[in-house]
Structure 1
Amino acid sequence: MSDIPSELKYTEDHEWILVQEDGTALIGITDHAQESLGDITFVDLPQAGDSFAQGETFGAVESVKAASDLYMPVSGEIIESNPDLDAAPESVNNDPYGAAWMIKVKVSDPSELDKLLNAAAYEAIL
C-alpha cells in the first residue's frame, strides 16, 4: 500500500498539496503516482511568476515507462520550482512527500482546498 500522509490534501490525479503557515503551498506527486510511473528521468516544471487555474496542467513528469501531465490542485501563482529536480529527477521516486516537492505556490483561492481529497478519501480511490 502506498504511503498517504494524513496532513496533506490530494487530487484524483495523484498530486498532493501542503499548505504552510505563511499561506503558500508545496505541491508534488503522490507515492502511488511515482510507483506507477517507475524510474523518473525528467521533470518539466513552470517558471516563477506563472499562474495556473485549478485543474490546469502545470508541467510533466517523464519516466522510463511513460510521461504524465501534472495538474494544479488549486489556482495560484508559482513562487518557486524545486531546483533540485533538474539535477536529480529520480529523487521523486525516493522522497515524493519531502525533498522532491515540485512547486511552491501562492494560493489564490483557499476555498478550492475544500474540493480536494483528505487521506482517507484518496486511499479509497486507489
Structure 2
Amino acid sequence: MTVKYTKDHEWVQSTGGDAATVGITVHAQDALGDVVFVDLPEVGKTYAQGEVAGVVESVKAAADVFMPVSGEISEVNEALRADPSLANSDPLAAGWFFKVKLSDALQLDALMDATSYEKFSAEA
C-alpha cells in the first residue's frame, strides 16, 4: 500500500486497484489544534483533483479538505463524524476522512512520497 501526500496536507493511501483512503496529515492536525467538527462529502459524489471535498473545524480555525485525486466518494468515516477528535488522536488510521474510487490512478504519481512531504512540511 502506497501513501502519498499533497501540498494541502492531505494523505491518500492506495489500497489496490482503483481504491484509496484519504485523510489529513499529522502536520495538518498539529496546525489546526483540537478538531471539533468535520463536514464529510456525500457518498456517490464525484470530485476533480483539487476540489474541496470537506471541511475540518478546530477550536483555532476551519480548513478545507481538498480532493488529492479525482474520483467518486465510496465511503465516509462515520466514526470520525461522531468523534472528530479521531483526526487528532489517530490521523493516519482511525481518523481517515473518506474513501474514493479513483478515476485516474496515475494522479497518485504526481503527489509527494513521505520523504518529500516531510521536507515540504518542515519548510512550511
**Which consecutive aligned stretches of 4+ in structure 1 deviate over 2 angstroms post-superposition?**
none
Give the equivalent residue in structure 2 for 1:20.
15
Query: Alignment length, in residue pairs?
Result: 121
Give the equivalent residue in structure 2 for 1:118.
113
CA shift in 2, pair 1:56/1:37, >3 Å: same
> For residues 79 and 93 of structure 1, what CA distance do their matches in structure 2 show?
23
Give the equivalent residue in structure 1 for 2:5.
10
Percent identity, aligned pairs only? 53
* Per-residue deviation, 1:7: 4.2
Match of 1:102 among 71, 91, 97: 97
* Per-residue deviation, 1:124: 1.1
**Paired AA for residue 84 in structure 1:** A
Give the equivalent residue in structure 2 for 1:3.
none
Give the equivalent residue in structure 1 for 2:34.
39
Structure 1, unmatched stretches of 5+, are: 1-5
Contact kept? 2:40, 2:54, Cα under 8 Å: yes
> For residues 124 and 41 of structure 1, what CA distance do their matches in structure 2 show?
28
SS in 2 for 1:112: helix
Structure 2, unmatched stretches of 5+, are: none
> For residues 44 and 2 of structure 2, what CA distance do their matches in structure 1 show?
27
The reply on whether 1:67 has 2:62 as its aligned counterpart is yes
* Per-residue deviation, 1:23: 2.7
SS in 2 for 1:105: strand
> For residues 76 and 102 of structure 1, what CA distance do their matches in structure 2 show?
14
Contact kept? 2:44, 2:73, Cα under 8 Å: yes
- So what's the TM-score if we normalise by structure 1? 0.93
Match of 1:56 among 34, 51, 63: 51
- So what's the TM-score if we normalise by structure 2? 0.94
> For residues 68 and 31 of structure 2, what CA distance do their matches in structure 1 show?
19
